Amino acid sequence: MTSGAIPRSAARHAGRRTKARPVVRPLLIFILAVTIAFFAVIYSRISLDRTAFDLQLLDREIAAQEERHWDLRAEHARLQAPDRITQRAAELGLVYPDDRQAIEVRGVESVVGGPEDRWMGLRALFVEQP
Amino acid sequence: MSRTSFRFGDLRVVALGLVFILAWAGIGYRLFQVQGADAAVLAQRGFDQRIRHETIEAKRGTIFDRDGVELALTIYGKALIADPSLVDDPTEAAALLAPVLGADYVELAQRLDSEERFTYVARGLENDVVERAAEVIEEADLIGFSFEEAPLRIYPSGGLAAPVIGLTRFDDGAGIEGIESVMDTELAGRPGKRVVERDQAGRAIPQAEFLLEASTPGSDVVLTLDREIQYVAERSLQAAIESTGALGGTAVVMDPETGEILAMVSLPGFDGMDRATLDPSAIRNRAVSDVYEPGSTLKVVAVAAALEEGVVRPSTPFETPHEIEVVGETYTDHGSHPSIMTVTEIVAQSSNVGTIKIQKQLGDETHYRYLDDFGLGRPASIDFRGEATGRLDHVSEWCGPACSASAAIGYGIGTTTLQMAAVYATLANDGEWVEPHMLEEIVAPNGERITTEPRRRQVISAETAETMRSMLRGVVTEGTGFRADIDEFPVGGKTGTSDKFDVETGEYSETETIAWFIGIAPIDDPAIVAAVVLDTPTGRLSDDTELKFGGASAAPVFAEIVEAALHQLGVSPAHDDDA
């Protein structure tokens, strides 16, 4: 018996295995593919659900922020209320001056607009001054 | 032995087999029923349990003043709801919750003591109240209560301009008074629709929400009101009401050139955020709904008409006795004055006798035409729901000389404060009547801005208007309106005092009056017109002058309002020698 010789029975078995391979491999591949697809679908579904939950969380966050935005606007308006400011000023001991004095700034044209216009006039004057 | 046991076992197997067959048959039948015969019905039933059609509420628009400060806005509040059938002890629950919610204990206990499945415990709750109520519910382990989102309309400035801004209904948020009502269609927006799939606990299933129609937010409304001027006007008028014991009062401040109303006060007022103490009679905007006889403030119409028609000149003299009799009716003047006065002096001294004589020369037809042209007898503006038309009978219905005389001095004609402010604004605006309005613009959600031009018409010439203004200046410097004078700005105006008419007795009261002052400031370059009315002021000043007269009670209020308003508007102080 040489080292390279294959026993007859073994050769016969080997031949059988060679014949079975084409039948099993596609089946295994198919099973594997189905399994992968199965898990992929499950994974994608879970991923989708997770994204949906994330989206829902973001929606809630947006709603909460919007709620906060409007609460702050309301608070801002409340803080500006003249009645509150007057009351606070009185608490701080602020009073209206007895005699109001108008200081005329020469060079500023007669202004009938609001504070914005008065400021524009003053700014123009400052620009002209050396 | 073996045959017997075989038969017995056979029977057991057969019986077991039959049981299995029957069981499977039953399951199969049920399966057929569920999946086949009743499939559609059951699927629909399940669908109906999970799927809910919901309304997406549209966010109500904001009401701003002219500087963009919010006067009314909607925030996301909460509502506490309950399933009374699950509440174990309604009295205990009411006792715990009523103080936190500011609700009436008895009323709340009654509401919770029912077999109904749903009731609102409280709506429009702010966050801090929600937190405290949630703590109470958790600590006491109250069953059957939960919170839900509910829009809450708030008025950040409290009662400021409340009768003007109005109110919304508590349950559906619809505007019911004031600008909230007039502009309800624009402010409300359009609700949307959505389909939501919910689980057994009522939670929305993610990705199972379908929008059918998005909601459209309401438009924002910008008013011409100036919050600072409004505040000063309210404060001054309130102080006058308190010091004179008046039943109420109104004030209107407007820009005569544009017709914009800068302030409109109606007192007593209310606080839109405090509905528990709301007095229904305080809701109405008296400046447009209450009609008074304008008294001497209406004399300017007869005088302006006479000047415009060339019937008289400012220097035309008239004999002015203390009283005059017209068809059995005696008309008298208040106080002493020269027996001969010019038209200018007649206006300054507010002489009834002199004005009646001027009106007689003018004639009824012409007088009526001017009263009509000045806008009396019909609503002055379209911005106010329920604005009174006032009363101006057609000249053909006047009762003769007595009615003519009454009309000349402001009796027999009914006007609102706003109508009279518009009359004086006409004099301030070189004779052109401009529709008073409070709506500056509507800002749609897409940013589109909608404005409406006010109506205008020339009533008298610019020259006549200027002459009238100089006469009104005389009323303040030399006449009955001296208490309206202020240091920094030259002002002009007219006092008015009309006796209140008692509908029950059909007679005029001898003690109760309506006190008026309407004026223009600065008189040489008008920036504002202000009208002040006090209903039944009483008492006396330190110099014994009765506060029932417009010159004593309403004129100082005018001065205070006008001075602050001119500062607020940035009007330069006067250089007039008279000032």
Residues in Cβ contact with B184 at an 8 Å cutoff, skipping those fewer than 6 apart: B174, B175
- ipTM value, please give it: 0.76
Q: Which tokens in the block code for residue B448?
A: 């589109």
What pTM was estimated for this model as a whole?
0.79
B296 is catalytic: yes
What does the alpha-carbon distance between residue A6 and residue A14 come to, in Å, rounded to a whole number? 10
Specify the amino acid at residue A72: L
Which residues sit opposite B253 in a β-bridge?
A: B263, B530
Residue A108 per-residue DSSP state: P
Chain B interface residues facing chain A, Cβ-Cβ under 8 Å?
Answer: 69-71, 73-76, 127, 154, 156-158, 160, 204, 206-207, 227-228, 231, 235, 487-488, 525, 527, 569-573
Q: Tell me the CA distances in angstroms from B148 to B4, B121, B134, B140, one per residue in order.
A: 74, 11, 12, 20
Residue B250 per-residue DSSP state: E
Residue B565 per-residue DSSP state: H
- Minimal-distance CA residue of chain B relative to A56: B206
Q: Which helix (H) or strand (E) holds B518?
A: strand B507-521
Task: Give the one of B160, B235, B527 whose C-beta lies nearest to A112's C-beta.
Answer: B527
State CA B491 to chain mean position distance.
Answer: 29
B chain contacts of residue A86, beta-carbon cutoff 8 Å = 231, 235
- Minimal-distance CA residue of chain A relative to B227: A82
Of B492, B490, B456, nearest to B475 by C-alpha is B492
Cβ distance of A48 and B228 shorter than 8 Å: no
Could you give the residue ranges of the DSSP H alpha helices within B39-81? Answer: 39-50
Q: Tell me the CA distances in angstroms from B409 to B221, B292, B546, one per residue in order.
A: 40, 13, 20
Q: Does A17 score more than 60 pLDDT?
A: no
Q: Does A4 score more than 80 pLDDT?
A: no
pLDDT at A22: 58
Task: Give the one of B76, B127, B570 whose C-beta lies nearest to A115's C-beta.
Answer: B570
What does the alpha-carbon distance between residue B113 and residue B144 come to, in Å, rounded to a whole number? 12
Task: Give the one of A74, A80, A83 whose C-beta lies nearest to B75's C-beta.
Answer: A74
Q: Which tokens in the block code for residue B494?
A: 């007219």
Q: How far is B566 from chain A (nearest CA, A)?
A: 10
**CB contact at 8 A, B215 and B191:** yes
What does the alpha-carbon distance between residue B517 and residue B524 come to, in Å, rounded to a whole number? 19
Q: Which tokens in the block code for residue A89?
A: 């000023």
CB pairs under 8 A between A and B: 75
- Minimal-distance CA residue of chain A relative to B235: A83
Residues in Cβ contact with A20 at an 8 Å cutoff, skipping those fewer than 6 apart: none
Cβ distance of A70 and B573 shorter than 8 Å: no
The answer, for A56 touching chain B at a CB cutoff of 8 Å, is yes
Q: How far is B129 from chain A (nearest CA, A)?
A: 14
- Cα separation of the two ends of chain B: 139
B chain contacts of residue A78, beta-carbon cutoff 8 Å = 156-157
Pairing of strands B63-64, B220-223: parallel
Cβ distance of A83 and B158 shorter than 8 Å: yes
Residues in Cβ contact with B308 at an 8 Å cutoff, skipping those fewer than 6 apart: B370, B460, B461, B464
- Minimal-distance CA residue of chain A relative to B76: A67
Q: How far is A130 from chain B (nearest CA, A)?
A: 26
Q: Strand ranges (DSSP E) for B5-136?
A: 51-56, 63-64, 70-82, 119-125
What does the alpha-carbon distance between residue B469 and residue B473 come to, in Å, rounded to a whole number? 6
pLDDT at B400: 86
Q: How far is B331 from chain A (nearest CA, A)?
A: 43
Count of Cβ atoms closer than 10 Å to residue B217 Cβ: 18
Count of Cβ atoms closer than 10 Å to residue B117 Cβ: 11
Please identify which of the residues B266, B296, B351, B553 carries the catalytic annotation.
B296
- For residues B36-64, one letter each, b for 16 or more C-beta atoms within 10 angstroms of the residue's C-beta and e for the rest, the string is eeeeeeeeeeeeeeeeeeeebbbbbbbbb
The answer, for A105 touching chain B at a CB cutoff of 8 Å, is no
pLDDT at B7: 67
Of B296, B353, B301, nearest to B324 by C-alpha is B353
What does the alpha-carbon distance between residue B364 and residue B460 come to, in Å, rounded to a whole number? 17
| C-alpha torsion sign, points B150, B156, B162, B165 | negative
pLDDT tens string B541-576: 888 888 999 999 999 999 999 999 998 998 887 544
What does the alpha-carbon distance between residue B579 and residue B492 come to, in Å, rounded to a whole number? 11
What does the alpha-carbon distance between residue B440 and residue B432 come to, in Å, rounded to a whole number? 20
What does the alpha-carbon distance between residue B550 and residue B101 come to, in Å, rounded to a whole number? 46
Question: Is B105 strand, coil or helix?
Answer: helix
A chain contacts of residue B158, beta-carbon cutoff 8 Å = 81, 83
Q: Tell me the CA distances in angstroms from B364 to B369, B405, B547, one per residue in order.
A: 8, 10, 33
Specify the amino acid at residue B239: A
| C-alpha torsion sign, points B457, B458, B459, B465 | positive
Of B331, B321, B319, nearest to B295 by C-alpha is B331
The answer, for A103 touching chain B at a CB cutoff of 8 Å, is no
Q: How far is B571 from chain A (nearest CA, A)?
A: 5
pLDDT at A67: 86
Cβ distance of B206 and A81 shorter than 8 Å: no
What does the alpha-carbon distance between residue B403 and residue B327 come to, in Å, rounded to a whole number? 10
- Cα separation of the two ends of chain A: 120
What does the alpha-carbon distance between residue B35 and residue A83 come to, in Å, rounded to a whole number? 70
Counting as low any pLDDT under 50, the low residues of chain B are: 1-3, 575-579
pLDDT band at A124 (very low <50, low <70, confident <90, very high): low
- Minimal-distance CA residue of chain A relative to B273: A78
